[in-house]
Amino acid sequence: MSRIAVCKPPSYHAGRRRQARSDWPRMSTSTEQLPWLDLPRLHKPLVEKSLTGLKMFGYQYKKKSETVAEGMAYIERKNYIHRDLRAANILVSETLTCKVADFGLARIIENEYTAQEGAKFPIKWTAPEAINFGKFSIKSDVWSFGILLTEIVTYGRIPYPGMTNPEVIRYLDRRYRMPCPESCPKQLYEIMLICWNESPEERPTFEYLQTTLEDFYVATEGQYEAHP
């Protein structure tokens, strides 16, 4: 069984987010009673439980990007967009089962969705076309997924460190992209960059990202196992 699920937790940010829909797709898991942590808070608790060593855990932690892509590929096939894809909205159990969570901003669409004037969204995870024109699509979720990858490889570091939201907007207007995070493999950074293509149409699908990440982690798994 796949180790990814789609869930509908309670909404938050009162007055801005609507209650999650009752008909969101959901995959069953056998771990519903386990405690769930969001990705940024996952690292320390699991290391303290002495899994298989920090490096192997690091591999399993980072490999979560593959299962997040799997969950988003499912959402993509259902013509939904998430609009708030970031590590804080990915829940992980102690068995490393993932759930894509918080659908408070999600919409079902045919192609793209234009947000109402004055709508709020997380700037550092939001694609330029959504920031500037309020236009959201599954391709803007792909941009957010690229940002989420930086959170995963840095164990929860906030994107664009040291920059304010207005600074991020100005830099994105100049087509700035975050540099490769320390210790991030070049191949993984290249995946981030294609997610951040200026043209939404040129960004990959989540199905492509799932397959590409699967291949990447299969190719690199031995590097972690060889150095426990």
CB 31 within 8 A of CB 84: no
State how far the Cα of 63 lies from the Cα of 100, in Å rounded to an integer: 15
- In the residue annotation, 23 being an active-site residue is answered as no
Written as six digits, the tokens of 45 are 């608790």
Orientation of helix 138-153 relative to helix 54-62, angle to 10°: 170
Task: State the Rg of the chain over Cα.
Answer: 17
State how far the Cα of 150 lies from the Cα of 197, in Å rounded to an integer: 16
CB 146 within 8 A of CB 204: no
CB 34 within 8 A of CB 128: no
Sign (positive/negative) of CA torsion 129, 130, 131, 133? positive
Of 23, 84, 141, 215, which residue is the catalytic one?
Answer: 84
Among 152, 193, 127, CA closest to 39 = 152
Among 127, 147, 123, CA closest to 136 = 127
Catalytic residues, which ones? Answer: 84
